[in-house]
Amino acid sequence: METFPALDDLLGGGLPYSPCYRSLWGQKLGEKREALWIDTTGDFSVERAVQILEDYQQTPDDLEATLEKLHISTAVDVESIQEIIRALDLQFSGPEDSPRIKCIVIDSITPLLGPYLSAVSAQGHAIMTGLMRYLRHLATRYSLLVLIVNNATLMSAPASSKGQMPFKPTSNPHSAFASTIRKPALGPSFTFMTDATLWVSFWPEQQESEKGSTTHVVEVFRSRFSKSNVWSTFSIASTGTLLPGSA
């Protein structure tokens, strides 16, 4: 599959992982790599996943082998996602032939935690902190890569004059582009519970493409292991695949 070298450069060589994790991605032990996709909205499409793999010109045997390494779970609330990761914790402590998950994707975390967050109660923040600490425990103890999708919310500031709406859109100060008028959801505390916050949006100077591709920009808002406030562009085909030569 195509890689994203420009993003790897932004992150100082790529997302960090331990020597143990590195060995599992080697040639001899590569067949043990598996991933868990936790779907919280019911939007995951197996058909689209197959289409993306086919676009990378995988043979039928390779495609089947890849899909066998992808585990899909559904979580509709915080309790269900807690059960999933606890079960995963037990599996890692089980026999050697148990699933060897090395990557967890949560898509997305916002509908699970958002309803609990409130300006008049600390319960939601405690729930969010507990879940993120457990995910960090799994990532650290078992050398996992955990990718968490967080939705966006509108940036707003009080209107300066009468007759205007109570709030008006304003630019995100963490973004390199004035056109960015949104921010990560779940409040500022959430970004400090992760190792890096990557912001993905449409490239402001979008141009039509004959292949139906779209240009996007990824920004590193905050990172503990690389530079922050840097960005790079890339393109995605209409099928959802990353196009070769993306910068």
Q: Read off the pLDDT of residues 49-101 as tens digits, 9 standing for 90 and up.
A: 888 888 877 788 888 888 889 999 999 999 999 999 999 888 887 666 555 88
Does residue 201 belong to any structural domain of this protein?
yes
Does residue 124 belong to any structural domain of this protein?
yes
The answer to whether the beta carbons of residues 102 and 34 sit under 8 Å apart is yes
> pLDDT-derived band of residue 18, with 50, 70 and 90 as boundaries?
very low
Task: Please report, rounded to a whole number, the percentage of residues in the chain having pLDDT higher than 90.
Answer: 43
Pair (175, 75) in one structural domain:
no
Pair (33, 69) in one structural domain:
yes
Q: How far apart are CA 62 and CA 36, in angstroms?
A: 19
Q: pLDDT at residue 16 above 80? A: no
> Which amino acid is residue 201, in one-letter code?
S
> Which amino acid is residue 174, in one-letter code?
H
Does residue 8 belong to any structural domain of this protein?
no
Does residue 6 belong to any structural domain of this protein?
no
Q: How far apart are CA 188 and CA 95, in angstroms?
A: 40
Pair (123, 243) in one structural domain:
no
The pLDDT score that the predictor gives to residue 91 is 84
Question: In whole angstroms, how far apart are CA 72 and each of 30, 162, 222?
Answer: 20, 51, 29
In the sheet where 145-149 sits, what is the strand order? Answer: 70-74, 34-39, 101-107, 145-149
Angle between helix 46-55 and helix 60-68 axes, rounded to 10 deg: 140
Does residue 244 belong to any structural domain of this protein?
yes
Does residue 12 belong to any structural domain of this protein?
no
Domain enclosing residue 145, as ranges: 17-150
Pair (112, 167) in one structural domain:
no
pLDDT in tens, 143-179: 889 999 999 999 876 655 555 556 677 899 999 998 8
From 126, 150, 174, give the residue that closes a domain: 150
From 150, 173, 204, give the residue that closes a domain: 150
Q: What is the mean pLDDT of residues 35-40?
A: 95
Does residue 5 belong to any structural domain of this protein?
no
The pLDDT score that the predictor gives to residue 29 is 38
The answer to whether the beta carbons of residues 240 and 52 sit under 8 Å apart is yes
Pair (206, 226) in one structural domain:
yes
Report the predicted TM-score, pTM, of the whole model to 2 decimal places.
0.82
The pLDDT score that the predictor gives to residue 1 is 45
Pair (146, 165) in one structural domain:
no
Pair (33, 129) in one structural domain:
yes
Pair (51, 126) in one structural domain:
yes
Domains of the chain: total: 2
